[in-house]
């Protein structure tokens, strides 16, 4: 697995491929990928990233909710690496909210997501973990999990009128004080 530092953009074949499970948690390539994902996410101001976004079709994602210029109201949480994740819905209620993506620059869209989920995953050492997520962190997880399925957030949009430019999004935020 060769590290690739450039974020893959919409149209890249790897973003439409179902990612493969990780089976070697001790390889240097795996740990280099984790470092590269963290670096790319921080450099781009993201609150999450998935391995396919770096051109690596493996089931690895990081969620790292925190206030950024892209998401100024995001709650703080330490970055969390999740390998081979899955989830169950704790409450079937869905809520639409704005999302953007490092692989789809310049666009935001209203996306329906579950508000409360139970996530199961393996940590960086391969140990099984479980975590309940709510609200924004649950949204970030579902967004990144979609990348492992070969989906992007635009695939979840219910109406094309819910897609706007990022410049318009920030204009609305400034006017509405969102």
43 is in an annotated binding site: no
147 is in an annotated binding site: yes
Q: How many CB atoms lie within 10 A of CB 21?
A: 11
31 is in an annotated binding site: no
Which of the residues are catalytic? 144
Q: How far, in Å, are 12, 84, 115, 132 from residue 129 at the CA level?
A: 31, 11, 20, 11
Are the C-beta atoms of 99 and 109 separated by less than 8 Å?
yes
Q: What is the DSSP string of 18-74?
A: PPBPP--SS-HHHHHHHHHHHHHHHHHT-SEEEGGGGT--BSEEEE-----SSSTTP
Measured distance CA(98)–CA(22) in Å, rounded = 31
Return the closest-CA partner of residue 16 out of 116, 142, 146, 141: 146
If you ran DSSP here, which 8-state letter would residue 147 be given?
A: H
The binding site for Fe cation comprises 101, 143, 147
């Amino acid at each position: 697995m060769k590290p690739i530092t450039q974020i893959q953009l919409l149209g890249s074949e790897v973003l439409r491929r179902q990612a493969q499970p990780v089976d070697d948690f001790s390889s240097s390539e795996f740990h280099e990928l984790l470092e590269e994902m963290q670096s790319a996410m921080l450099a781009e101001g993201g609150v999450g990233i998935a391995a396919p976004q770096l051109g690596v079709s493996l089931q690895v994602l990081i969620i790292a909710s925190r206030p950024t210029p892209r998401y100024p109201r995001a709650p703080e949480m330490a970055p969390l690496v999740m390998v081979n994740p899955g989830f169950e819905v704790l409450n079937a209620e869905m809520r639409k909210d704005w999302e953007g993506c490092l692989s789809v620059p310049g666009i935001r869209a209203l996306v329906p997501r579950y508000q409360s989920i139970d996530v199961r995953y393996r940590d960086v050492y391969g140990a099984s973990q479980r975590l309940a997520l709510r609200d924004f962190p649950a949204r970030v997880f579902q967004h990144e999990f979609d990348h492992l399925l070969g989906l992007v957030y635009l695939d979840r949009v219910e109406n094309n009128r819910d897609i706007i430019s990022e410049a318009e999004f920030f204009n609305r935020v400034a006017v509405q004080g969102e």
